[in-house]
């Protein structure tokens, strides 16, 4: 399933993250794809907050990963932008993406694409050509996880 949404501002992005958060069951892998500064970490902040975490969400560009706690789930946030050797994270990532009690969010996943599950939600975030905070989001999801998009019109 592919769904495209035009979001006029950050509030619209936050509302969308809340909808997805309300559908999360645990065990999901969400891959965020965009250019530098496209809104991957901003979307992650909104999603983590909507899941009930008070943790401060920052891009893990220099640390590769961060973990956030919510009342019911653990969120693992990976950023592989600076990763040059995927062997560094492959085993941990494989184990993490199979954990049904957590949610895995991945930025810059191209270098580890071979170990990512095919059943994942891919969110492509594109900057709007004329509006600073507007985004165009394209969601790609298999039938296994199409419930994540329930409620998005």
120-137 average pLDDT score: 94
* pLDDT tens digits along 86-126: 676 777 777 777 788 899 999 998 888 888 888 999 999 99
> Residue 17: which H helix or E strand, with range?
helix 10-23
Quote the CA–CA distance of 133 and 13 in Å, as a whole number.
Answer: 9
Q: Can you give the CATH number for the domain in which 102 is found?
A: 3.40.50.300
Total count of domains within the chain: 1
45: left (phi over 0), alpha (psi -120 to 50) or beta: alpha
With H, G, I as helix, E, B as strand and everything else as coil, classify residue 143: helix
What pLDDT, on the 0 to 100 scale, is given for residue 18?
Answer: 98
What pLDDT, on the 0 to 100 scale, is given for residue 152?
Answer: 94
Quote the CA–CA distance of 37 and 69 in Å, as a whole number.
Answer: 25
133-145 average pLDDT score: 95
DSSP symbol at 149:
G
The two beta strands, 74-79 and 102-107, are: parallel
Domain containing residue 76: 2-149
* Token representation of residue 73: 């789930």
* Contact between residue 12 and residue 133 where contact means Cβ atoms under 8 Å apart: no
Q: How confident is the model at residue 82 (pLDDT cuts 50, 70, 90)?
A: confident
For the cut 90, the answer to whether the pLDDT of residue 149 exceeds it is yes
Q: How confident is the model at residue 13 (pLDDT cuts 50, 70, 90)?
A: very high
């Amino acid at each position: 399933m592919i769904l495209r949404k035009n979001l006029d501002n950050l509030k619209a992005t936050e509302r969308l993250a809340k909808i997805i958060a309300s559908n999360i069951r645990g065990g999901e892998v969400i891959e965020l794809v965009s250019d530098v500064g496209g809104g991957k970490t901003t979307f992650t902040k909104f999603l983590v907050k909507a899941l009930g975490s008070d943790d401060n969400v920052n891009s893990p560009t220099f640390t590769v990963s961060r973990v956030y706690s919510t009342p019911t789930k653990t969120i693992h946030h990976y950023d592989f932008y600076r990763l040059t050797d995927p062997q560094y994270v492959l085993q941990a990532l494989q184990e993490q993406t199979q954990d049904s009690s957590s949610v895995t969010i991945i930025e810059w996943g191209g270098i580890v694409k071979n170990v990512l599950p095919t059943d994942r939600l891919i969110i492509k975030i594109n900057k709007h050509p004329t509006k600073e905070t507007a985004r165009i989001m394209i969601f790609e999801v298999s039938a296994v996880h199409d419930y994540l998009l329930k409620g998005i019109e």
